[in-house]
Chains A and B, each alone.
Chain A
């Protein structure tokens, strides 16, 4: 069905169709519309889920953990400070192998208080064992949320999935949305280690140095296996509903000399910058990084790379830029832009490419060189 929707509403609609047994969430700007919409679905009887209005994000994730281990589908949504507040429990969720799906509306961290888009919040969850995917359109936010449940709950994965969308620039904008009837696209959840009082076992008890690392490796093994599951899920989604994305979304990359790599809405904006540059005779391309964990294999051979980071690791550099450099043994032009909702448009991105100095880093609006 075609309609107009915000990114937040699109997520809520997908969750309604996935029909989790339990949703536990705490409101935070700019995520509120997701939880308000779900609360309304539940209250009005449109969605037969249990909605737990918890008193904090730490408790939101704890409640999702408690619900998920009984074997029901589970969802929550958060942003920025909320995500960081639940950080202890995001680790627990992954370690406990619970296929919780969470929407994270990317937002900057205080101080000073800033409610606008930035990716540093989710980057701080990088090493928790969550799969991370970044949407760039309302449609993609919706499609990806449906896919997230199937991927998380797949027996070869059983890890939580975080669907990221940029605060305001995606959460609150209106775009066309074509909803689907998921049918059996998301199979019924079967958690092999669900609590069974008829077969009592211990969960998460003391695990010594002779055992603990094995569970860590098991997370990594599943993270690696998730690559195939993601690909198969996207393929089936494309077959059923006619839309596909991939680990990266590549735009005019094949013959490109220089590629812009960005995530989220910037990744879409970069496609416009690419067209502008092409008109000028610069063979540019855009590679929008969609899945951040597991980190995709990128083919950057023979290309110059401009990475736009909407995040930063102080004392080190742009996080995406450094991940790409480390993974691909290459140098990039690292642009730090869009922190705290800083406006960056396609003209700016085109200029990053024109003035690129591979091997260097700039902070947009601060200086040309660092």
Chain B
């Protein structure tokens, strides 16, 4: 797919209150393009709560339902069932940050997955509570400095994808804001399934990760090219690694190439760095083996 094949319609207008270089709003642009106008976006507390604009204005051209932090997936459950009760085929998409997914929202997400709710859950992951000024979340990687881990996080990132996979989803995927065609294709595909689907999208954050705003695409690409973030789909349990990661896995860039431009990893201790490298290698090996089995 080339970028020109992506629909020209814009559902997120050029009047958001996003930070310069925000990749989550960029991601959302392609999510909307793939979903089309008959869509409701359910948004818990997260950066998108702010990005959409301040009442009475909105930058979004589809209905956006804002709901409490822990409640997005449950709210989407009710909405999805109610649309079905009315014979409507409206897409219900949760667009939640990593805090609203891995931490406070995990219970309602798990419940909605288990009940077979017909909806798409998208977690855009900037690896911390970005909206409130970068406090650590369950998605913050080992060694990263946040305002609540000033000496670097001492524990690892939660494997939310394994948790999601444990719900026997018919379709789940990972994506990254630096690969818009990949996001478009995966969202469009997810919406062809009935029942719960999940897409976990890495969304680098310039103020939070502390890199220059113009590097936001480069940062996403470095995450993939270093193997720190792997793009894949799991359809009916079968894993297929997406092309950019397939290429990267043949010869990943050194992890330092990804970490060094980010202020949050400044002064990371050698032990944490080594652990990150080991786990990165183990993850690539595990995913390659899973794909080979499929």
For residue B70, CB closer than 8 A to chain A, the reply is: yes
Which one of B61, B77, B88 has the greatest number of beta carbons of chain A within 10 Å?
B77
Q: Given contacts A195-B63, A208-B54, is CB(A65)–CB(B114) below 8 Å?
A: no
The segment from A54-62, A143-151, A158-166, A334-342 found at the interface with B is: A54-62
In the complex, A24 has a CB within 8 A of chain B: yes
Please give, as numbers and ranges, the residues of chain B lying within 8 Å of A68 by CB-CB distance: 78, 82
**CB distance A62 to B74 under 8 Å?**
yes
Per-residue interface assignment for chain A, residues 45 to 66, with 1 indicating a CB less than 8 Å from any chain B CB and 0 otherwise: 0000110111110111011111
Total cross-chain contacts (CB, 8 A): 161
Q: How many residues of A contact B (CB 8 A)?
A: 41
Assess whether B65 is in contact with A204, with CB atoms less than 8 Å apart. Answer: yes
Does B53 make an interface contact (CB < 8 A)?
A: yes
Does B39 belong to the interface (CB within 8 Å)?
yes
Determine the distance from Cα of A63 to Cα of B107 in the docked complex, in whole angstroms: 13
Known: A50-B85, A67-B81, A72-B85. A203 touches B74 (CB 8 A): no
Report whether B65 and A66 are in contact in the complex, using a CB–CB cutoff of 8 Å.
yes
With an 8 A cutoff between CB atoms, is A22 at the interface? Answer: yes
Tell whether A315 is near chain B: CB-to-CB under 8 Å. Answer: no
B38 within 8 A of A: yes
In-complex Cβ contact of A65 among B67, B86, B111 (8 A)? B67
Contact B74 A54, beta carbon cutoff 8 Å: yes
CB pair B60 A202 closer than 8 Å: yes
How far does the alpha carbon of A72 sit from the alpha carbon of B49 in the complex, in Å? Answer: 25
Note all chain B residues with C-beta closer than 8 A to A64.
78
Minimum distance in angstroms from A115 CB to a CB of chain B: 24
Which residues of the other chain, A, contact B65 by a CB distance below 8 angstroms?
Answer: 66, 69, 195, 203-204
**Interface residue from A63, A201, A207 paired with B77 (Cβ < 8 Å):** A63
Q: Of B62, B78, B81, B108, which is in contact with the most chain A CB atoms at under 10 Å from its CB?
A: B78
Q: Which residues B38-57 have CB closer than 8 A to chain A?
A: 38-40, 42, 49-50, 52-56
Task: List residues of chain A with CB within 8 A of the CB of B64.
Answer: 200, 202-203, 205
Are B54 and A70 within 8 A (Cβ)? Answer: no
Q: Tell me the residues in window 118-161 of chain A with beta carbons closer than 8 Å to chain B beta carbons.
A: none
Question: Contact at A21–B85, with CB atoms within 8 Å?
Answer: yes
Q: What's the least CB distance linking B83 to chain A, in Å?
A: 6
| Mask of B75-100 contacts with A, CB within 8 angstroms, 1/0 | 11111111111101010000000000
Binary interface profile of A, 172-213, with partner B (CB < 8 Å = 1, else 0)?
Answer: 000000000000000000000001110011111111100100
B108 near A201: Cβ-Cβ < 8 Å: no
1/0 per residue A215-227: CB within 8 Å of B?
A: 0000000000000
Complex CA–CA separation, A198 to B140 (angstroms)? 39
| A58-B70, A62-B74, A66-B74 as given contacts; A206 in contact with B54, CB under 8 Å | yes
Instruction: Tell me, yes or no, whether B37 is within 8 Å of chain A by CB.
Output: yes
Instruction: State the CA gap A54–B108 with chains docked (Å).
Output: 8
**Cα–Cα, bound, A64→B246 (Å):** 43
Q: How far is the CA of A206 from the CA of B66 in the complex (A)?
A: 9
Residue picked from A54, A205, A207, A211, most chain B C-beta under 10 Å: A205
Q: Which of A49, A52, A71, A202 contacts B55 (CB 8 A)?
A: A202
Asked, given contacts A22-B81, A50-B82, whether A62 binds B55 with beta carbons under 8 Å apart, the answer is no
In the assembled complex, A364 has its CB within 8 A of some CB on chain B: no
Chain B residues, CB < 8 A from A21: 82, 85-86
Chain B, residues 231-274, CB within 8 Å of chain A (1/0): the string is: 00000000000000000000000000000000000000000000
Chain B, interface residues (CB within 8 Å), range: 35 or more
Q: In the complex, which residue of chain A has the Cβ closest to the Cβ of B88?
A: A70
Complex contact B114–A66 (CB within 8 A): no
Encoded as 1 (CB less than 8 Å from any B CB) or 0, chain A from 66 to 90 comes to: 1111111010000000000000110
Q: Which residues of A contact B85 (CB under 8 A)?
A: 21-22, 49-50, 72
B67 contacts A205, C-beta separation under 8 Å: no
Query: Is A92 on the interface with B (CB-CB < 8 A)?
Result: yes
CB distance from A22 to the nearest CB of B (A): 5
Q: Which of A69, A70, A88 has the most CB of B within 10 A?
A: A70
CB distance from A365 to the nearest CB of B (A): 40
B102 beta carbon closer than 8 Å to chain A? no
Contact, CB under 8 Å: B77 / A54: yes
User: A53 to B115, Cβ gap below 8 A?
Assistant: yes
Q: Closest A residue to B114 by CB, please name it.
A: A55
Are B62 and A206 in contact, with the CB atoms below 8 A? no
Partner of A201 from the list B50, B58, B75, B83 (CB cut-off 8 Å) is B58
Q: Closest Cβ of chain B: how far from A158's Cβ, in Å?
A: 17
Nearest neighbor of A202 in chain B, beta-carbon distance: B58
Which residues on B sit within 8 Å (CB–CB) of A205? 49, 52-55, 58, 64, 66
Bound complex: CA A203 to CA B50 (Å): 13
For residue B213, CB closer than 8 A to chain A, the reply is no
Contacts of B54 in A (CB 8 A): 205-208
30 contacts between A and B (CB under 8 A): A22-B78, A22-B82, A22-B85, A62-B68, A62-B75, A62-B77, A62-B108, A65-B78, A66-B79, A67-B79, A70-B86, A71-B86, A72-B82, A72-B86, A89-B71, A92-B67, A92-B68, A195-B65, A200-B61, A200-B64, A202-B53, A202-B60, A204-B66, A204-B67, A205-B58, A206-B50, A206-B52, A208-B54, A208-B55, A211-B55
- Enumerate chain B interface residues (CB-CB to A < 8 A): 37-40, 42, 49-50, 52-56, 58, 60-68, 70-86, 88, 90, 107-108, 110-112, 114-115
- Besides the known contacts A52-B77, A65-B67, A205-B66, 6 further A-B residue pairs in the complex with CB atoms under 8 A apart: A55-B114, A58-B74, A59-B77, A60-B74, A70-B83, A206-B55
Closest 10 CB pairs of A and B: A66-B78, A55-B111, A59-B74, A63-B78, A67-B78, A62-B74, A62-B71, A66-B79, A66-B75, A202-B58
